[in-house]
Amino acid sequence: MLSRTSRTLLSKTTNHRWASTLVVAEPLSKDGSLSAGTQSTVTAAQQLGGDSLTLLVEKMPAQIPEGVSQVLVSGNNGLSEFASSAVQVAASAENYGHIVAPASKFGSTIVPRIAALLSLSPVTDVIEVVSPDTFVRPIYAGNALAKVQASDATKLLSVRPTSFDKTPLVDAGDVAVTELDVPAFDKSEFVSASAGNDDKVDLGSASKVVSGGRGLKSGDNFVLLDALATKLSDCAVGASRAAVDAGMAPNDTQVGQTGKVVAPDLYVAVGISGAIQHLSGMKDSKTIVAINTDPEAPIFSVADYGLQADLFEAVPELTEKL
Amino acid sequence: MKILVGVKRVVDYAVKVRVQNNTVDLKNIKMSLNPFCEIAVEEAVRLKEQKVADEVVAMTIGPKQATETLRTALAMGADRAIHIMTDLRTDYMELQPFAVSQIFQKIVEEEKSDLVLLGKQGIDSDCGQTGPMLAGLLDWPQITFAANIETDGTSMTVERETDSGTETIKIPQLPAVVTCDLRLNEPRYATLPNIMKAKKKKVDTRVAEDMGIDLSPRNQVLEVFEPAPRKEGIMVEDIDSLIDKLKNEAGVIA
């Protein structure tokens, strides 16, 4: 990487505006590796035309995405205010052309605060990079897409991970690592996080998803979907908002406009009617299957293969025959 | 404790919008109180009923018709309202979170609010930015995706949704900004007596353009279009045909 002096000389002689891209990583997985969402964010970042890629992490992972030439380590005290501050510290040392985070709950919580700290207007949930300053983002539950041109000198973005392939990870080797000195935020305290089921296949990155809706009638019946998911392998179990609302499934399994957006190779919607908001969370899946007793259910309008059947018979039969 | 609740008038959640003339056509479309703002109002009113909050002020930014949205909040139990009048589109096309959060900042500072409750996102623009952006401007603690709030009016403990489950955050001393998620509560229906009472509650009107804030969008919407439609699918007869299609046509199972 060029030293600061060489970069200045280069920009003076060639009118080249040296600008790096900063990618803000999500918290590491339990095994200390970077998340799939981070890998997809790096792919989006590489389309932005920056001269180099810097990754900001809480802790140094053993492997980093291909193409990253510098790593900044911030530490993590569990607070979004701290994570936002870390980006502010990074941005004060270097003039980034772009700052990019995944559009997960984590990214969506810090990007707007970073925007306020740096006085930038972010473009969030980007699904396509058209050019270094022009992006496409969904609005109205994805029923409309907006092509947006950002005018800030530094573009602050969050990207939808399912819209970008994952950049492969390589050994960190002797990549330049810098520890950041981030001030503590003492107006909030992290108390605890839920235990979280480590055995669950991650909904955001699974190649297959089986989702249940109100048709399952009770949370106990979700075991039918667990069995199907296990048989399919690399398959996560999701839920519609109606199912989450009724207490049949945990909130972090909700697929939809205001839940998680997924785009697996196979999405099986079981007992889900297909409200607009649910469709917006899964309609980019490669193959969609719907099982529902109601032939008029809107879910059939997006399904590649629809089966009008009683899920309490169809799902066990499918599980058995696979 | 004084609570400021942001409420937004948005396209009703059941409406499927149409793209026309390079924008989303809002003519004659049914508008409603944003579902997540409704949850925020409900939480504020409950805190008042628990005698933890002294006053609930509802605020909206929007056209003349947005007064209806404020009346709904007042009918649910808010004490008074502030209507920031503007004809700019608030569904991302014109007025964007960067300006919206500055408007909120100004009102929060005037009102000396102790707690700002907002919905986690507007279901039109799907941005979810105003909450944390406002907190950043004020240098206040922020909580997004709140699923449970406990407070005595001075400190607050919140359980919030995360990408992998939930976590608990404590704020030893208010003020704070909190955005509300689905599980927080189930909003009440305004009763007829309360709807009538709401008509007498105070609504202060301001003009957004007169607040000394640059309202122009920093992100220019160049084009609005509909996503490419999916290829039409088929109905299958039974599980055997489904498995056959998935294996041999779609190639998604071995």
pLDDT tens digits along A202-258: 898 899 999 999 999 999 999 999 999 999 989 999 999 999 989 999 989 999 988
The string of pLDDT tens digits covering residues B44-98 is: 999 999 999 999 999 999 999 999 999 999 999 999 999 999 999 999 999 999 9
Give the SS3 label for residue B191.
coil
Which H or E run contains A148?
A: strand A144-150
* CA separation for the pair A102, A147 (Å, rounded): 19
* Residues on chain A touching B224 (C-beta within 8 angstroms): 139, 144-147
CB contact under 8 A, A266 and B172: no
State residue A257's pLDDT score. 87
* CA separation for the pair B205, A176 (Å, rounded): 55
Taking the C-alpha atoms of B13, B17, B22 and B23 in order, what is their torsion angle to the nearest 10 degrees? -30
The CA-CA-CA angle for residues B182, B185, B191, to 5°, reads 120
* CA separation for the pair A84, A112 (Å, rounded): 9
Q: What is the mean pLDDT of chain B?
A: 96
CB A226 within 8 A of CB A237: yes
Nearest to A71 by CA among A143, A150, A169, A198: A169
State residue A10's pLDDT score. 52
Q: Enumerate residue ranges in chain A where pLDDT < 70.
A: 1-17, 195-198
- The mean pLDDT value for B184-197 works out to 93
CA atoms within 13 A of residue A305's CA, in its CB half-sphere: 23
State residue A199's pLDDT score. 72
DSSP state of B218: S
DSSP state of B94: S
CB contact under 8 A, A144 and B11: no
Closest residue, chain B, to A275 (C-alpha): B14
Instruction: Count the helix, strand and coil residues of chain B and give each as a percent rounded to the nearest 5.
Output: 30, 30, 40
Nearest CB neighbour to A124, from listed B127, B135, B240:
B127
The string of pLDDT tens digits covering residues A107-123 is: 999 999 999 999 999 99
Taking CA atoms, A201 is separated from A25, A210, A260, B69, in Å, by 21, 11, 14, 42
DSSP notation for A80-113:
HHHHHHHHHHHHHHS-EEEEEEESSHHHHHHHHH
CB contact under 8 A, A289 and B234: no
Give the SS3 label for residue A180.
coil
CA atoms within 13 A of residue A143's CA, in its CB half-sphere: 22
Nearest to B69 by CA among B145, B11, B127, B128: B11
CA of B51 vs chain A CAs: smallest distance (Å): 24
Which H or E run contains B24?
A: strand B23-24
For residue B211, pLDDT over 80 is answered with yes
* Residues on chain A touching B93 (C-beta within 8 angstroms): 146
State residue A15's pLDDT score. 46
Give the SS3 label for residue A242.
helix
Residue A284 identity (one-letter amino acid): D
Given the DSSP bridges, would you call strands B165-171 and B156-162 parallel, antiparallel or unpaired?
antiparallel
For residue B128, pLDDT over 90 is answered with yes
State residue B134's pLDDT score. 98
State residue A134's pLDDT score. 98
Residue B235 identity (one-letter amino acid): M
Nearest CB neighbour to B128, from listed A108, A115, A146:
A108
- Indicate the pLDDT class of residue B140, thresholds 50, 70 and 90: very high
Query: Position of tokens 């060489």?
Result: A6
CB contact under 8 A, B101 and A116: yes
* CA separation for the pair B59, B205 (Å, rounded): 10
Q: What is the mean pLDDT of chain A?
A: 93
Determine how many CB atoms are found less than 10 A away from the CB of residue B23.
Answer: 15
Q: Which of B163, B182, B215 to mutate to test the interface with A (most CBs of A within 10 A)?
A: B163
